[in-house]
Structure 1
Amino acid sequence: MSEINPVNYSEDNIRTLDWQEHIRLRPGMYIGKLGDGSSADDGIYILLKEIIDNSIDEFVMKAGKRIEIKMDEGKVTIRDYGRGIPLGKVVDAVSKMNTGGKYDSKAFKKSVGLNGVGTKAVNALSGFFRVKSVRENRVKMAEFSRGVIKTDYPEADSSDRNGTEISFIPDEDIFLNFKFRKEYVERMLRNYAYLNPGLTIIFNGEKFYSENGLRDLLEEELESEILYPIIHLKDDDIEVAITHSDKSQTETYFSFVNGQNTTQGGTHLNAFREAFVKTVREFYNKNFEAADIRKSIIAAVSVKVIEPVFESQTKTKLGSNEIEPGGVTVRTFVIDFLKNKLDNFLHKNPEVAEALLRKIMISERERKELSGIQKLARERAKKVSLHNKKLRDCRHHYNDQKAARKSETMIFITEGDSASGSITKSRDVETQAVFSLKGKPLNCYGLTKKVVYENEEFNLLQAALNIEESLEDLRYNHVVIATDADVDGMHIRLLMITFFLQFFPDLIKNGHLYILQTPLFRVRNKKETRYCYSDAERLKALDELGKNPEITRFKGLGEISPDEFKHFIGKDIRLEPVVVGKDQTIDQLLEFYMGKNTPDRQLFILDNLVVEDDTNIDKKKTMMEA
């Protein structure tokens, strides 16, 4: 047996990457997952946020009360009216690592950004990037592409107001088929306005402004009536707003650290949930169940920390446990604040205290009424879980903190065995699960949560997702409805969306529910195959593939072979997020689409009816063959 010679390990094996090469090679270290814009935490929104964060920090430093944002297709421009980057450091500030004003804790005590890394990441991950700074009638500008400087303009005179303007276009080689979704951008900007009362943000001509901070946030987000006026409490480094809904079955929270929306919570939110229960128990001198106290709560909490330690560069979860280095813990700080402020408020507002007590007692009674049927449902689910043919699980799960790929996890909710069979055979067993429906699910509109336990299919789905109590232990980041694009498939989509809106609205509000987009057509010649998701894409493929291409119309998921299906649920997967707009509440949506038939709904159907004519496809194919 011949000896295997190891590869020589020498100086030649050591390579130092340029700053932009490192960011482009490992973008996940800086912006989390890439994505295409279908999720609110996809990379393009992190790029946008990193630039806005710097402008927000200028406002916090009382150096500019207005931020203007323009978005045209994929190009974004952010202009603030702060102090402007020092002109001699404009290029360095956006292209040299470890360069930034936030290393000086005196200038940015409680800033959002982290040491100026974010702007460099945006530069490196943009096909086009331009920085412009105006200070005291002088302007400095530079342009980059993928982090490499292309034009370094000399300083010049300027009559513009002081401030910084950043323009960028995400690199299409990294963010494939990306698209900014207006709903996600607007939600981000609304949060910035609520957290910075007095700041004006203009987005494509639309104004975002708040005077009352988190109170305005709750009033904007409320979907139904509240049981008592919003409790709004503030101190130097903490602000909370609290109320209870009369219909919601879940807990709804909005949490922030130094103006950053910590969508995954962290130590400050855990402390708030604990502190609210503790304060309420002590006020009423009764040992209520925590679930009864917090059921249907809607709350927002914002804290300021001198040196926040987040669990990732995207800053979606607070990991640090101290308000100041060497100081009091976040937990103690929040508990002491609520114990003092909330307790005083309840003593001074007995009508609110009475309303809160009534809500807790109602929740307690409902829980006890449901306990019997819950027990039976859990026992039934436990019996079938070992042989649950509806669920084909994956290995990684979203609620597993140690799972390396937890953000990629998804569960496909499919109709029938043919569709689930194709997905099951072509899925990634590490991160993709499949749950198979049997026919059309029940219309849940107007029903109580009792039906979730009585209906075996809903009960098994609830158990598979692990969302019975809250979203905290959700097992999949993406819950994907995968149905045929025909009338029956659309009906099943609507029924499933109704189920989630009725009983688990936070799943949608937190951006976890999606519709799987699958191709309508396959157009191919001997050299190339194109999958087309719309008629426009089909026509483009016909034009580009030349003479006599073969056209296949997919009418159902079961018609797509597993070998083909893997292309549609892999790295090029197209997911359409289910988003509730601000113009209608969930109650109004459900009543209009799923309630009794009305003249308004009939007119809506007639106005939006689309009749598909396959003969055009056949005609085109015949003409090309001729």
Structure 2
Amino acid sequence: MAKKQEYGNDSISSLKGADRVRKRPAVIFGSDGVEGCAHSIFEILSNSIDEAREGYGEKILLTRFADGSIQVEDFGRGIPVDYNPKEQRYNWELVFCEMYAGGKYSAGEDNYEYSLGLNGLGLCATQYASEWMTADIYRDGFHYHLDFKQGEPTGEMVKEPFKGRRTGSIIRWKPDTQVFTDVNVPTEYFTDTMKRQAVVNAGLDLVFVDQTGPEKQTIEFRYEKGIEDYVNETVGLDYITPTRYCESTATGRDREDQPDYRVKMSAAFCFSNKVQMLEYYHNSSWLEHGGSPDRAVRTAFVNQIDNFLKTKGLYKKNESKITFADVQDCLVYVSSTFSTRTSYENQTKKAITNKFVAQAMTEFLKHNLEVYFLENPEEAQKICQQVLINKQSREHAEKTRQSIKKTMTSQIDIANRVQKFVDCRTKDVSRRELYIVEGDSAMGAVKTSRDSEFQGIMPVRGKILNCLKADYDRIFKSDVITDLIKVLGCGVELGGKAKKDLATFNLENLRWNKVVICTDADVDGYQIRTLILTMLYRLTPTLINEGYVYIAESPLYEINTKNKTYFAYTEPEKANILSRIGKEKYTIQRSKGLGENDPEMMWLTTMNPESRRLIKVNPEDVEHTAAVFDLLLGDNLAGRKEHIAQHGVEYLDDLDLS
């Protein structure tokens, strides 16, 4: 075995330059898969959006080319890339090749008061993660061109005079498959992202050009009134109240020891009984997981609507308070906030955690809702009535859910509560079959030969109680009987009264389509079969009357020839088989007990729906059946003796006298 390298002072190393991104892309972009690649594209787009929001440029084009490269073109001021006397370096080195560098770190300057691309990582990180990148910058009367390959510059910056009037930046690059495991960003990501940015940047044109197909496709997004237009578009004509738009600003801090920062807030909302939506944006970034704005919405809307309900006496006596789920079910809401100081959960900007943003938004929404309700009492009434309807619907659904859960849990728990019961997998009652077998050995044979998808097993241990002779108290002290009733699931028929933990009979609760009694083909097996039938007749006679109860007929003889095995269920069948075999050699033996049969034989003769023999217990005359049961198993000893004397001779051949 090779000796491991010693872990010493020279074992410590750091990633440098492009390797900081190329070898650990998930640290910056949140993933080394297609999600991370998509986020690297968003970083470049966000820089152009920041320029437009500062008032420089009204249009941004994002193009996807057939070779897999991406291009973002804006008409802003153009990235400063020339020599920087203060840093004594070219700005292009800082912006494209230096992490945590850019105009957003300039002290005392308000280049980007509310920045989407906040950390100065995006352009450099995306350049590091590219197979190649080119940059064309137009500013100060010059055209600048730069080339990069796998994170490193190739050649010098080209600078030439430009007589045109345009300014801005054109960045084109190809995501590197050596960095990302998947670079096939779906079209939906581009269209969804650009639409969202158009929503929160009122009046900005965002154009997606797709050249990957046989024909070039161009999709343009523009919302003149931003989030207000977006809410109107989303709800259409399905509104209870018209869209309400409000905006404000605030200044505060997250902690006493931190500096103040500015927050700019806007919200657009309406109510609908057909559409519901919650979306939060901060510094133009869609907050998929919300964070501070989500906490504010939940607090403010529940508080103000609850106050209105209490003030107007719309709650019923002892009625529970509304929840945000009741409000959300009819709320169409979009907010867009900006702050000069932002705490994101991570670089992917899916949620913010600013304490002051949550506080400012809560007060902002509470105030605007209070004014809205005072100025529009009829609309407030409609809103609150719909919220109460949602509440009642939720509570009713919860009761139904709990009831179903209780019923299903009870059914599932049967397998745990009833000793040795083996359930089947399907929940389709029309397919489920319950085999009632005698003893553990028979259960083992049936278990290994059954189809576990739809055949369950319930073993009967020992001699079952004679339910015709016993009173109910004795019957329900028998674990064998109570366990079997629990497994059936339909309860017992005792004149409408429940007994112990056994429910009153309800055929709809029967968990099986067939109840199959499966016992040995001998005197003991017949007796156990009769006792089980007696129990079912006494406690659940409807199962017999409706044809749910069956007897699995076991063969009396197994006849083996050189090429085939025959099963005879009666003496005449045995004779018929032997006559058909003729002079062919054979062996014949009395069929074994169920516990001694091999799985293949059990499946063929007893379990397989295609080859088994089932006798449906379907008495035409229930009273006659009751009389026979009572005669054979009841207290009429004289009648039973007479019956045996008259008919016993008919069963001499079936007696096991060995």
Q: With the length of structure 1 as denominator, give the TM-score of the two structures.
A: 0.56
| Structure 2 counterpart of 1:215 | 228
Is the contact made by 1:254 and 1:301 (CA closer than 8 Å) also made in structure 2?
Answer: yes
Answer whether contact 1:224 1:247 (CA < 8 A) is retained.
no
- Taking the aligned partners of 1:12 and 1:159, their CA distance within structure 2 comes to 56
- Structure 1, residues 313-371: CA drift from partner, whole Å, max 9, x if none? 111111232xxxxxxx2222112101211211222223321220221122123234334
Which of 167, 170, 176 is 2:175 aligned to?
170
* Superposition deviation, residue 6 in structure 1: 7.9
Aligned-pair Cα RMSD in Å: 2.9
Separation in structure 2 between the aligned mates of residue 31 and residue 98 of structure 1, nearest angstrom: 15
Other structure's SS at 2:306 match: helix
User: What is the distance in 1 between the residues matched to 2:323 and 2:6?
Assistant: 65
2:256 maps to 1:229: no
Say whether 1:92 aligns with 2:94: yes
User: Relative to structure 1, is the Cα distance of residues 183 and 8 closer, same or farther in structure 2, using a 3 angstrom cutoff?
Assistant: closer
Residues 31 and 47 in structure 1, CA contact (< 8 A), matched pair in contact too: yes
Q: Check conservation: 1:224, 1:245, Cα contact below 8 A.
A: no
Q: Does 1:356 align with 2:383?
A: yes
Aligned pair 1:200/2:205, yes or no?
Answer: yes
Higher gyration radius (CA): 2
What pairs with 1:554-593 in structure 2 (closer than 5 Å)? none
1:61 maps onto 2:54 in alignment: yes
Alignment correspondent of 2:418: none
Q: Distance in 2 between matches of 1:227 and 1:29?
A: 45
User: Aligned in 2, Cα 1:338/1:44: closer, same or farther, shift over 3 Å?
Assistant: same
Q: In the alignment, which of 266, 279, 283 is matched to residue 308 of structure 2?
A: 283
Task: Tell me the distance in 1 between the aligned counterparts of 2:205 and 2:126.
Answer: 24
Letter in 1 for 2:367: N
Question: Corresponding residue for 1:102?
Answer: 104
User: Which residue matches 2:336?
Assistant: 302
CA distance in structure 1 between the aligned counterparts of 2:9 and 2:60, rounded to whole angstroms = 49
Which among 158, 175, 178 is matched to residue 162 of structure 2? 158
Contact 2:33-2:182 within 8 A present in 1 as well: no
State the alpha-carbon separation in 2 of the partners of residues 308 and 319 from structure 1: 8
**Aligned residue for 1:470?**
none
Which residue does 2:148 correspond to in 1? 144
Opposite residue 320 of structure 1, the aligned amino acid is: N
Q: CA deviation at 1:53?
A: 0.8
Instruction: Tell me the matched-pair count.
Output: 378
Amino acid at match of 1:275: A
Between the aligned partners of 2:176 and 2:236, the Cα distance in structure 1 is 38
- Are 1:80 and 2:93 matched, yes or no? no
Question: Is contact 1:281–1:288 with CA below 8 Å preserved after alignment?
Answer: yes
Which shows bigger deviation, 120-129 or 143-152?
A: 143-152
Structure 1 letter corresponding to 2:331: I
Q: 1:124: how far off? A: 1.2
Matches within 5 A, 1:447-466: none
Q: How far is 1:86 from its partner?
A: 1.3
Tell me which residue corresponds to 2:38: 45
Q: Following superposition of structure 1 onto structure 2, how do residues 531-542 of structure 1 map, counting pairs within 5 Å?
A: none
Deviates more, 1:375-384 or 1:337-346: 375-384
Cα deviation, residue 140, structure 1? 1.5
Which AA in structure 1 matches 2:79? I
Shift of 1:378: 2.9
User: Is 1:13 equivalent to 2:15 in the alignment?
Assistant: no
SS in 2 for 1:92: helix
Counterparts of 2:232 and 2:411, CA distance in 1:
43
- The AA in structure 2 aligned to 1:58 is E
Misfit runs of 4+, over 6 Å:
384-391
Q: Distance in 2 between matches of 1:112 and 1:65?
A: 17
Question: Which string of whole-angstrom CA distances, capped at 9 and with x for unpartnered residues, describes residues 254-277 of structure 1?
Answer: 111111111111122122222111
Asked whether the equivalents of residues 91 and 142 of structure 1 are also in contact (C-alpha less than 8 Å), the reply is no
- The answer on whether the counterparts of 1:123 and 1:144 sit within 8 Å (CA) in structure 2 is yes
Report the counterpart of residue 510 of structure 1 in structure 2.
Answer: none
Deviation at 1:5, TM superposition (A): 8.9
- Please tell me the residue identity of whatever aligns with 1:15: S
Unaligned runs of 5+ in 2: 83-90, 210-217, 250-263, 312-320, 416-422, 427-451, 454-508, 510-658
Against the structure 1 CA distance between its residues 70 and 10, is the aligned structure 2 distance closer, same or farther, given a 3 Å change threshold?
same
Alignment correspondent of 1:116 = 120
Which letter does structure 2 place at the counterpart of 1:35?
G
Distance 1:379-1:247 versus aligned 2 partners, 3 A rule? farther
CA distance in 2, matches of 1:33, 1:381: 41
C-alpha contact 1:90 1:141 (8 A) present in aligned 2: no
Deviation per CA, 1:523-559: give whole Å up to 9, x if none: xxxxxxxxxxxxxxxxxxxxxxxxxxxxxxxxxxxxx
1:247 matched to 2:274: yes
* Structure 1 portions without partners, runs of 5+: 37-41, 322-328, 392-416, 419-455, 457-626
1:33-67 alpha-carbon deviations (Å, 9 max, x no partner): 2333xxxxx12221111001111111122122221
**Superposed displacement of residue 76, structure 1:** 1.1
The equivalent residue for 1:316 is 350
Match of 1:607 in 2: none
Instruction: Tell me the CA shift for residue 244 of structure 1.
Output: 2.8
Following superposition, the deviation at residue 379 of structure 1 comes to 2.3
Superposition deviation, residue 136 in structure 1: 1.9
Deviation at 1:184, TM superposition (A): 1.9
**Whole-Å separation in 1 of the counterparts to 2:63 and 2:163:** 21
- How big is each residue's C-alpha offset from its partner over 1:439-464, in whole Å with a ceiling of 9 and x where there is no partner? xxxxxxxxxxxxxxxxx9xxxxxxxx
The 5-angstrom pairing of residues 250-265 of structure 1 reads 252-265=277-290
Shift of 1:150: 1.9
Query: Which residue is 2:326 aligned to?
Result: 292
Q: Is the 8 A contact 2:190 2:208 kept in 1?
A: no
1:382 Cα offset (Å)? 4.8
Distance in 2 (alpha carbons) for counterparts of 1:23 and 1:177? 16
Confirm or deny: 8 A CA contact 2:290 2:350 kept in the other structure: yes
Among candidates 328, 333, 339, match of residue 366 of structure 2: 339
Greater Cα offset, 253-262 or 299-308:
299-308
CA contact (8 A) 1:196 1:213 kept: yes
Deviation, 1:282, is 2.3
Question: Cα distance 1:348–1:155, how it changes in 2: closer, same or farther (>3 A)?
Answer: same
Is the 8 Å Cα contact of residues 94 and 119 (structure 1) preserved in structure 2?
yes
Alpha-carbon offset, residue 189 of structure 1: 0.8
Letter in 2 for 1:87: V
C-alpha distance in 1 between matches for 2:208 and 2:144: 25
CA distance in 2, matches of 1:25, 1:257: 30
- CA–CA separation in structure 2 for the residues paired with 1:208 and 1:276: 31
Deviation by residue 1:112-131 (Cα, 9 ceiling, x = unmatched): 11231011111111112112
- Cα distance change on mapping 1:184 and 1:385 into 2, 3 Å: farther
